[in-house]
Structure 1
Amino acid sequence: MLETAPLTQDSLSPPLVLRSLAGLLREWLPKQRWFAAKGWPITDLSVVSMTTLHPGCLHLLISTRHDGTTPHCYQLVLGIREELPPRLHHAVIGRPTAGPLAGLSVYDALLDPRSAGLLLERLRTPGAAGPLRFERDAGSEVPAGLTPRLLDGEQSNTSLVYGNRFILKLFRRIQYGTNPDLEVPRALAGEGCARVPAPVAWFWTEQPRRTTLGVLQPFLRDATDGWTLALQSLDAGEEFTDESYELGRATAEVHLALAQVFEPRPPDRREGGELAAAMAERLEAAASQVPALAPYVPRLRGAYDVVAAGGRHRPDQRIHGDLHLGQVLRAGDRWFVIDFEGEPARPLTERRQLQAPVRDIAGMLRSFDYAAHSERPWQPQWAHRCREAFCAGYAAAASWDPRTETALLRAHETDRAVYEALYEARHRPEWLPVPMAALARLAEGS
């Protein structure tokens, strides 16, 4: 019995491979955590690019179409064997009944230690594989033979940890262009910002145009994410204000470094109107899908109207874009900021735009609220103290206090809670009361 399937290059033409995979992927893709079009059946599949990474392992970019939605592109690494050993049964996708892969076992190769290890070897030795390009930072060393393991937890991407020394993030939903999770940390590393782990290696594709596919960074093995630390504090009945203050300082340091690397843009009253209009449009769209949100719409719009009237006073700049307690790590007494990809559901061009720093601050304030809701009974005063400490720490490092940007901070916190309500309604209905409670509070304040 062969370990991998004996396939020729001719038999691996994209149309023929798609003939084998289409039926399996229509069923498998919607079940994945990172699949974006939940609830929309796949009406069409096409292969954007296909590369043989090593015998029995295909790298694919697959485009999906859905009635009423724009096409989505996904990155897949698929293994092909005659039979799967028991250790890979959890990775199985299925057995095609047609095309060149008929009768063979197809599986998610990122769950296969052998394929994951060979992917690291590609990153260790820069070069090309078809349209794929592998690059490594010249000053970084990546040892061979590091044992891979898949990082558990809910993610919009897939992360592999190698020997507890490096972590590789593979972007599952692909948007064409340079991903901020490569662009921003590389720029910050050049600025000497020690709050963000610097990329060690990365890979991208030239087809259909240059697009980031994955980034390898140092793995902070002794670090704990902020969400876990916050929940531990709540469970123990302890304060989290000291940690929140230092996290505010760390956030300000990252913002200051970003303003040095990427030139900020002075505030413009006209842009306040554009921002408010975009927020209002998102509010209306969310309310059409989340009936519980509809009664609050008129009062929530009031928060945006203040911004439209000129509630912006600081320059826009590059920011994190999706900052919350799950995007920060604490090692010893030091905070680090990770995952600069932004909100994956939003267009890449939007995620790379200059924006108000208070958007990041609003995201973290909402995260404190989420943590407080995880404890029964709800701990609103715990969240309030964390929010105040975070803003105080930010003000100490940034020389301006986000609490003075009352209108803009309220608008961004409202916009974030609207996003959360739509997300929870689609994916985690049991969590919907958390953003709804915030929206009720924000509507009353408006």
Structure 2
Amino acid sequence: MSDAAPPRHEALHRTASPGPPPSGPSGPEPLPSLAPLLAQWLPRQRWFAGKGSPVTGFTLVTAAEILPPTGTAPGLLHLLVRAHQPAAGTDDCYQLLLGVQDLLPHRLAPALIGRPDDGPLRGRAVYEALADPRLAALLLERLRVPGRLGPLRFGREPDAEIPTGLVPRPLDAEQSNSSVVYGDTYILKLFRRVGPGINPDLELPRALARSGCTRVPAPAAWFEADAPEGDEPMTLGILQPYLAGSADGWQLALGALAVRADFTASARALGHATAEVHHALATALPTTVLHHERLRRIADAMHRRLDAAAEVVPALRPYRHALRAAYDELTAHQAAVTTRRAQRVHGDLHLGQALRTAADGRWSLIDFEGEPARPLAERRRPQPVEQDVAGMLRSFDYAAAVGRAGGTWAARAREAFREGYAAGRPGPGEDPWLLRAHETDKAVYEVVYEARHRPDWLPVPLAAIARLAARADGAARP
């Protein structure tokens, strides 16, 4: 396999037919009159990444009028805006879908953003469009027809069947994105913070579908926008099959813990499913050899994160020496890891990213976006598979803590997952040094997160830190 970077996803652009000529909002630019309203509304949204820092202004990136308002019928305005937050040193780009109408029904009152005092939308109600079933249904209809609308391009798989008349309902559980379920057939995931380049949540499931892997729902349609200054287009949304009658691994694990039921068979099957997906990704997309220099860079980055974390959380400091030893093992055993490769991975794997259908007990993996806080280029970079395995192992620890189970539950689930993974992946299993290092790095991240946001949860990752530090001499498997 090639060591080169993954090729640009040209097939994404070929699927869009020419469509109508470019169009956008008629009249003056709407953003100046919307800016005061957005400055108040945007920081209150769960998917807004810049909380705690004031928004000082906005820049319009693109605008498209998907449907102009007529009479009592609502209009749908699509905006990409850059929110300037100089105190935080960020100017992230956000996707907004705005409904526009004169008289807002009472049921849509919670979705109101406000009424501009001037500009082309003066006096009209501007609101979150996904809360309006008519506008959410319109978005699905637009996805059924490949083509272009102003700066927006809509693509669809040729064999995808997207029925008409599916009733939309927004999901409340999303954090960094927004999702709408259509009937029990499809789910549309909308990325709120966007940037140039294809999103892995579109790129990887499409590659897996082409390889014949059925463990990941295959995208049926998507849309993107032109990026400024000639950058790669920005992925905005993905329509995928909705796995009705399924539950995520986090719910299932907590359900098992509530009745003290065994979870090892489920964990083993989940490990097998994860290995299948990793194998399919390694077959469908380029991989790279983990040479000594690459391992050294990985270890150096982990060292830096540990040092920064210990400055924030003093409870980490007694373990620093032992944890450093776990990172140093990456380059101390080069002879044993010369055959190890980096490949495309999930990037943020945990129990909540796995779904099991009730009918057949089959596991599927979802949400291949990676960690949204990381730059897109980093999320598209090949990584050791141990990164995903470590994320799932840490998730079992958290489930045990929430379910108030003893340490044996998590230990059994972790071991069963690893057994299933080893059985499902051709060739050598996971590398013990890479796994220990990645699990340690993940636990260090969790320590900082809990210290800042949920101090009562800090004992959970600290217990893992103590366990990993005790094993950092390499005498035992992680």
Could you say whether these structures have the same fold, taking a TM-score greater than 0.5 normalized by the shorter chain as the test? yes
Give the drift of 1:414. 1.4
- Greater mean alpha carbon deviation, residues 321-330 or residues 90-99: 90-99
1:32-43 matched pairs, under 5 angstroms: 32-43=45-56
2:183 counterpart (152, 156, 163):
163
Relative to structure 1, the CA distance from residue 294 to residue 60 in structure 2 (aligned partners, 3 Å threshold; closer, same or farther) is: farther
**Aligned residue in 2 for 1:278:** 301
Distance 2:105 2:332 in 1: 64
What is the one-letter code of the residue matched to 1:119?
L
Give the drift of 1:402. 4.6
1:35-54 matched pairs, under 5 angstroms: 35-54=48-67
**Aligned residue in 2 for 1:364:** 392
- Greater mean alpha carbon deviation, residues 349-358 or residues 30-39: 30-39
Instruction: Indicate if the aligned counterparts of 1:358 and 1:408 stay in contact, CA closer than 8 A.
Output: yes
Task: Report Cα offsets for 1:15-49 as digits up to 9, x if no partner.
Answer: xx222222222222222211112222223321111
Distance 1:37 1:309 in 2: 40
**Aligned residue in 2 for 1:97:** 117
1:243 counterpart (262, 266, 282):
266
1:338 counterpart (366, 370, 373):
366
1:325 counterpart (351, 355, 364):
351
- Gaps (5+ residues) in structure 2? 1-23, 69-74, 473-478
**Aligned residue in 2 for 1:211:** 234
**Aligned residue in 2 for 1:438:** 464
Give the drift of 1:440. 3.2
Give the drift of 1:298. 4.0
Task: Report Cα offsets for 1:335-394 as digits up to 9, x if no partner.
Answer: 111111111011111111111111110010011111001023x43210100000000011
Relative to structure 1, the CA distance from residue 35 to residue 308 in structure 2 (aligned partners, 3 Å threshold; closer, same or farther) is: farther
SS of residue matched to 1:42: coil
Relative to structure 1, the CA distance from residue 412 to residue 87 in structure 2 (aligned partners, 3 Å threshold; closer, same or farther) is: same
Instruction: Indicate if the aligned counterparts of 1:59 and 1:78 stay in contact, CA closer than 8 A.
Output: yes
1:415 counterpart (432, 441, 465):
441
Relative to structure 1, the CA distance from residue 346 to residue 263 in structure 2 (aligned partners, 3 Å threshold; closer, same or farther) is: same
2:383 counterpart (333, 346, 355):
355
1:227 to 2:250 alignment: yes
Relative to structure 1, the CA distance from residue 188 to residue 119 in structure 2 (aligned partners, 3 Å threshold; closer, same or farther) is: same
SS of residue matched to 1:158: strand
Give the drift of 1:131. 0.6
Give the drift of 1:292. 4.4
Give the drift of 1:305. 1.8
1:65 to 2:93 alignment: no
Relative to structure 1, the CA distance from residue 283 to residue 402 in structure 2 (aligned partners, 3 Å threshold; closer, same or farther) is: farther
SS of residue matched to 2:243: coil
Give the drift of 1:111. 1.2
Give the drift of 1:238. 0.5
SS of residue matched to 1:356: coil
SS of residue matched to 2:271: helix
Distance 2:57 2:304 in 1: 29
**Aligned residue in 2 for 1:398:** 425
2:152 counterpart (122, 132, 152):
132
Give the drift of 1:437. 2.7
What is the one-letter code of the residue matched to 1:230?
A
Relative to structure 1, the CA distance from residue 408 to residue 258 in structure 2 (aligned partners, 3 Å threshold; closer, same or farther) is: same
1:84 to 2:97 alignment: no
Task: Report Cα offsets for 1:122-171 as digits up to 9, x if no partner.
Answer: 10011111110011100111011100001121421111100110011001
Distance 1:19 1:201 in 2: 33
**Aligned residue in 1 for 2:33:** 20
Give the drift of 1:294. 4.7
Give the drift of 1:426. 4.5
1:254 counterpart (258, 262, 277):
277
Give the drift of 1:427. 4.3
Distance 1:24 1:290 in 2: 38
Instruction: Indicate if the aligned counterparts of 1:272 and 1:310 stay in contact, CA closer than 8 A.
Output: no
Distance 2:25 2:84 in 1: 27
Distance 1:426 1:63 in 2: 27
1:381-392 matched pairs, under 5 angstroms: 381-392=408-419
**Aligned residue in 2 for 1:5:** none
* Number of aligned residue pairs: 434
Relative to structure 1, the CA distance from residue 289 to residue 51 in structure 2 (aligned partners, 3 Å threshold; closer, same or farther) is: farther
- Greater mean alpha carbon deviation, residues 302-311 or residues 361-370: 302-311
What is the one-letter code of the residue matched to 1:133?
R
Give the drift of 1:443. 3.0
Give the drift of 1:215. 0.6
Instruction: Indicate if the aligned counterparts of 1:199 and 1:218 stay in contact, CA closer than 8 A.
Output: yes
Task: Report Cα offsets for 1:92-113 as digits up to 9, x if no partner.
Answer: 1223334333332221101111
- Greater mean alpha carbon deviation, residues 129-138 or residues 205-214: 205-214
What is the one-letter code of the residue matched to 1:275?
I
Give the drift of 1:293. 4.0
Instruction: Indicate if the aligned counterparts of 1:275 and 1:308 stay in contact, CA closer than 8 A.
Output: no
Instruction: Indicate if the aligned counterparts of 1:177 and 1:212 stay in contact, CA closer than 8 A.
Output: yes
1:374 to 2:402 alignment: yes
Distance 2:457 2:103 in 1: 41
Distance 2:324 2:192 in 1: 34
1:179 counterpart (196, 199, 219):
199
- Gaps (5+ residues) in structure 1? 1-7
Give the drift of 1:12. 4.2
What is the one-letter code of the residue matched to 1:385?
R
What is the one-letter code of the residue matched to 1:45?
F
What is the one-letter code of the residue matched to 1:110?
L
- Greater mean alpha carbon deviation, residues 388-397 or residues 89-98: 89-98
Relative to structure 1, the CA distance from residue 58 to residue 279 in structure 2 (aligned partners, 3 Å threshold; closer, same or farther) is: same
Distance 2:26 2:138 in 1: 23
Give the drift of 1:10. 4.4
Relative to structure 1, the CA distance from residue 401 to residue 371 in structure 2 (aligned partners, 3 Å threshold; closer, same or farther) is: farther
Distance 1:296 1:24 in 2: 48
What is the one-letter code of the residue matched to 1:281?
R
2:291 counterpart (254, 260, 268):
268
Give the drift of 1:235. 0.4
Give the drift of 1:333. 1.7
Relative to structure 1, the CA distance from residue 308 to residue 25 in structure 2 (aligned partners, 3 Å threshold; closer, same or farther) is: farther
Instruction: Indicate if the aligned counterparts of 2:25 and 2:77 stay in contact, CA closer than 8 A.
Output: no
Relative to structure 1, the CA distance from residue 286 to residue 37 in structure 2 (aligned partners, 3 Å threshold; closer, same or farther) is: farther
SS of residue matched to 1:115: helix
